[in-house]
Amino acid sequence: MPNDYAKILGVTETSLAMAARRPDANYFGLLVAALIEKGGAMSLDEVAERLDAIGYAPRDLARRSLSRCRPTREPVFRRGELYDLDPHCQEAGLWAFRLGMCPPRARAEVAPPEPPPPLPDPERPIDAAALEEAWRIPGLSGWSDRRLVVCALEALGGRARPEIVIDFLAARGWSRPRYLGPDRVWNRGEPITTEADGAWLLVADHPDISGARRAVIKAIEADRRRRRGQPSPEQLAESRRQFEAERRAERERVATMRRALVVAHPRDEPEVMLILDVERETVMRFAGAALAEGRARLANFDFIAAVGVRSLLAALGFDWGKRFLGDIDLPQKVIGGGRGRKGLALDLDLLLRGSCGLRRKLDDREGLERLRAAGKESELLDRLEDDLRALFALHSYARLHGAVRVTKGRRDEMWDVAWSHWRDRRLLEELRLEARAQDRVIEAVLRPLGNLRDPWAEAVELQAIARGEGIFLFEVAGSFVFDEDVIMARLGRPLAAALEDRRRVEAERAEREVAASRAADQLAAAFEALRSPVNWPGIIDVFQVRLAEEPGDPRGLRHHLASLLLLEGRAAETRELLARFPEHDEPQWLYALALVEFLETAASDATLRAMRQALAKGPFFAAYLFRRVAEGKAAFATGPGRATLASTLLARAWAAHPEAVRLLRETPGSEA
């Protein structure tokens, strides 16, 4: 009676004795067959007893051989002392097929062959149909030019022009022989002669003619033997179509599966559990009494992945039934060892760093236990969520490539892993082909991953470009992208829209560069004209326009503008300018503020307070101002730098108000 394993695998014959007679049978394969036969878990002792019962091997020998055949590799996993089968694993289906327990997925139905026509009569000339059947099989290139011409002349009636003979042979797939042409001279004794008008004529009753007929008959017999029992091209095409339809349906079914990643702590007796919905990329948290709700939520998913997924689900008390499980495990424990060399020990942290560029310790049980013992449940859940999202990035990389990346020193390798459904691996290859066929971009998250909570915020747009025999990925901006650097990927918008946006961005950048160059020239001319007061109103307009276009003032034009406004007596506009940059506390800025306070409120408390702040921040400017005023140099000389020019303009604005200079000199903190 078919069991659950047999139904999932499509097994039609569950007999272990039948599987043991197959040439591909070995102890591991028979372990798989025994689990399929029973439809449930078995111990190695029980499997050995079954092999002894069918007469395959004595019980002790079978038990020892089963323990040595690495019985915990795919598709078999261990649960205590029992061994169970993952029927969704690709290896399970392959073993069932090798052991004759299920038919092939796609098989062409061979129609009963029609009776072939009779073989040509060796006593009669060969016709064109017989030649086409004889020359259908490969390996006839060893026929001599003379035999080819004899066969062609037989089909053409025994006499023909050389051009007609050559065209006849070329039409049946033969390239022009090297020494065969209209000027070919046939020697005496050959089965062909050349007539006066240049035509070729067969010599009647020549023995080579009967030899050519026998060779054609022999070739026809060989072709019929080769084709006997084979499906026709139409049947093969139909079989291929059915196979592609089944594979497409399987992929669509797998694509619609709801997937989840799970973490819990502690692993033996979980008190908190987090579930990440892969499609929505959202995390659900459950703690304490809410674990029952978490198990109910987990039942809504078709595919569940975790580190040690079966032991974790068993600790949670969740029966996974027929669901697909993805065990996030190491491809192997150590790589690169042997011959006295120390190998590289693998762990999930190393795989995460190599694949996603994340330096993070996954499954830090000691740190998690300290948070749990301290009663910091919120911090514990945040830490577990970060671990879960890092695990999701690593699992997405494995789904995309069918492998994980190991980088350590000079080592940079890809190692195959089976963390997802076998129809759901190496998605990057399919995405590349789909993007190429549909003229769409690929949205990709590249290594290193910086934003765990929202990885798609860092996504870039890639286009698939054919170069030579391969299809490679390039950013829409033009730079090449290595496949190994792609962590997550999905189909994006049409390629034409992305390229149009790129062209617009490039045009805007070019316009900004032209405008920046023009503005730089304009500013250079303005600075040259600053020495003449006549030009100040126009320069003020230039500086105000630049500040409006560059609100952050990366050029420091606000200092020059404030000084010019004060020189022009526009105190109100100066205060508005100072209010636009309230967080700046440079000495020059504070002295401008102090002068504005004096012009608006004279010797008020606000003016004195502003002067004290300016003196405390930059006493050197006051010393410079007092020295210049004492020397009687109102038109101060300017240095070559812009900062010196701005300070000189501000000093001229102060010198225009002697009462302000006197008040500043009398303010405590002045060095006058």
Amino acid 581: pLDDT: 81
- Residue 184: band (very low, low, confident or very high) from pLDDT cuts 50, 70, 90: confident
Q: What is the mean pLDDT of residues 302-310?
A: 89
Asked whether residue 380 carries a pLDDT value surpassing 50, the answer given is yes
Closest CA to 392 of 368, 416, 419, 372: 419
Q: Residues near 663 by Cβ (< 8 Å), separated by ≥ 6?
A: 598, 603, 607, 608, 611
pLDDT at 636: 45
- Collapsing DSSP states into helix, strand and coil, what is residue 616? helix
Quote the mean pLDDT of the chain. Answer: 83
The count of C-alpha atoms lying within 13 angstroms of the C-alpha of 650, restricted to the half-sphere facing its C-beta, is 26
* 179 pLDDT tier (thresholds 50, 70, 90): low
Q: b/e map of 232-257 (b: 16 or more CB within 10 Å)?
A: eeeeeeebeeeeeeeeeeeeeebeeb
Q: What is the sign of the dihedral through the CA atoms of 268, 274, 275 and 278?
A: negative
The predicted pLDDT at position 1 comes to 46
Higher pLDDT, 67 or 519: 67
Q: What is the pLDDT of residues 251-276, one digit of tens each?
A: 888 888 899 999 998 888 899 999 99
pLDDT confidence of 634, banded at 50, 70, 90?
Answer: very low
In the predicted model, what is the mean pLDDT of residues 228-242? Answer: 78
User: So what's the pLDDT on residue 274?
Assistant: 93
Instruction: Indicate whether 641 pLDDT > 50.
Output: no
Higher model confidence: residue 518 or residue 20?
20
On the question of a cis peptide bond just before residue 668, with omega within 30 degrees of 0, the verdict is no
Segment holding 439, helix H or strand E: none
Name residue, tokens 């007929």.
Answer: 213
Question: Is the per-residue pLDDT at 359 higher than 70?
Answer: yes
On whether the CB atoms of residues 68 and 109 are closer than 8 A, the answer is no
What distance in Å separates the CA atoms of residue 406 and residue 344, rounded to the nearest whole number?
10
